[in-house]
Structure 1
């Protein structure tokens, strides 16, 4: 997403969830350098969804901002501080480190 680039989010990864879960079609995982950066990225994403005419997404993780989850329905976005992202390692859990053919299912 352009917002992630504009807000200088780091290490953005997109994971295709089709066929893996009914929670969403895709997941985006990205990092912010510190809590305030994570909060700014999340706030900008929520505003971008509103401006695009979408329903306001569900957001969890404020005010701590170690990990903010934004659920738009079809898309789940996780914004982490790097240490927290490494600890939870969602990419491994959802198969982002596997070859592409295994991701698609």
Structure 2
């Protein structure tokens, strides 16, 4: 839970969010129990106004550069302006299930 809290703190400081939710989705992937490697971030901030989605993603990755270099494998980013968040009705899509990478996956073993 340390990495999740760090992500929440950094994003809270960098973006003055109206809404911020960080979910650890590592349990949906082929990682050891209690891992902190895969996260879903929902962030609503006026800072994103006028920015394309790519610029928003770049800003979040810049804010979390240390975490990305230190063990976070994946971020599912859902980044909204307040207006977009209102139009979406506060709905965020579910993350897809892991599609592989498991040592138990016969397709992955055949490649090894």
TM-score, normalised via structure 2 length? 0.44
Higher strand share: 1
Give the greater-gyration-radius structure (CA): 2
Higher helix share: 2
